[in-house]
Amino acid sequence: MGTGAVINGKLVPVSGLEVQNFLDDPRLKLAPDDVRPRNAREQAWIHMIVVHTTGGIPGGKDLRPQVINPGVGPSSNAGERVVGSWTHDSTRHGGAHFIVDFDRSVYCCADLVTEAAYHAERANGPSVGIEVVQSRSAELYQDQMDAAVQLVLWLCANMPTPIQAQIPLPYQGKPIARFVESQDLATPLSDVVGVVGHRDLTANRGEGDPGNAIMDALATAGCERFDFEAGQDIVTWKQRQADLGIAKPDGIPGPATVAALKATGHANGLWMLAPGNR
């Protein structure tokens, strides 16, 4: 059984996915040191989705390549299992809003609006975190990745302020300098809108968090690739905002830009993806 994601205390079904959540099953609730309330400003505009793998392979000392198995994998009881591993690891904070298991099951472990999960340090405040389960032998499954992509696109269209479905260029072996340098606690990543990998935010993670396969699948599904390092997103959006008639284009597709997109035929407020997610 699954009833959906939790957005501002409300259960919202996710089209095409079975989503079990912490309101239905308290074992999915994150421990108090793995999650915190978002403050009012954070709640007002959540503008990033950060994608992870639980194994982060290849990364650190484990440089085995990811193995993408065809089809669907077995359940690993990932919701209870992964939340439990975060809870019992008192040496570090860990948590995410979603866990995607090998069998396409999705687990929602925190409220997308009112709670910030501890998955990406200073990006926690403005972001939703998704952990894609990776086995000890570095395996992922194709259907699992498809489910993760479906979840990302649904979130882009269904967050209170829709998040533009835009992703970085293929990974260059290091985080994107703009994301790291702009990690100022007062205004964390306030000019970044879109879907990024954990590896794009920090040098502490390697290529496999989340790996090229997932990011490439997002591109194939219609996400727009930008050279964030060079500010291509800002330049492109300034032009789009000017075309939309926005008085002071700032290059950041926030709530006013989404409203202008909706008013000009982009029914879900997204530039790239039509209603129904595509």
By the criterion CB under 5 A, which residues form the site for Zn ion? Answer: 52, 198, 209
Eight-state DSSP code of residue 133: P
**Which residue's CB is nearer to Zn ion, number 138 or number 260?**
138
**Which residue's CB is nearer to Zn ion, number 115 or number 207?**
207
Eight-state DSSP code of residue 171: P
Strand partners, 117: 35
Residue 166: CB minimum distance to Zn ion, A: 20
Taking Cα atoms as reference points, which of 214, 209, 187, 182 lies closest to residue 198?
A: 209
The CA angle 51-131-267, to the nearest 5 degrees, is: 50
Residue 202: CB minimum distance to Zn ion, A: 8
Cα separation, 273 vs 224, whole angstroms: 10
Phi-psi region of 53 (alpha: psi -120 to 50; beta: other; left: phi over 0): beta
**Which residue's CB is nearer to Zn ion, number 66 or number 241?**
66
**Which residue's CB is nearer to Zn ion, number 93 or number 198?**
198
Cα separation, 52 vs 209, whole angstroms: 5
* HSE-CB for 202 with a 13 A CA cutoff: 18
In this structure, what token pair is assigned to residue 105? 């099951």
Q: What ranges in 111-231 are assigned the alpha helix state H? A: 142-158, 177-181, 212-220
Residue 145: CB minimum distance to Zn ion, A: 16
Residue 159: CB minimum distance to Zn ion, A: 20
Helix (H) or strand (E) run with residue 240 in it: helix 232-244
Q: How many CB atoms lie within 10 A of CB 210?
A: 31
Give yes or no for a contact between 144 and 214, defined as CB atoms under 8 angstroms apart: no
Residue 24: CB minimum distance to Zn ion, A: 26
Residue 205: CB minimum distance to Zn ion, A: 5
Residues 6+ positions from 61 with CB-CB distance below 8 Å: none
Residue 131: CB minimum distance to Zn ion, A: 7
**Which residue's CB is nearer to Zn ion, number 21 or number 124?**
124
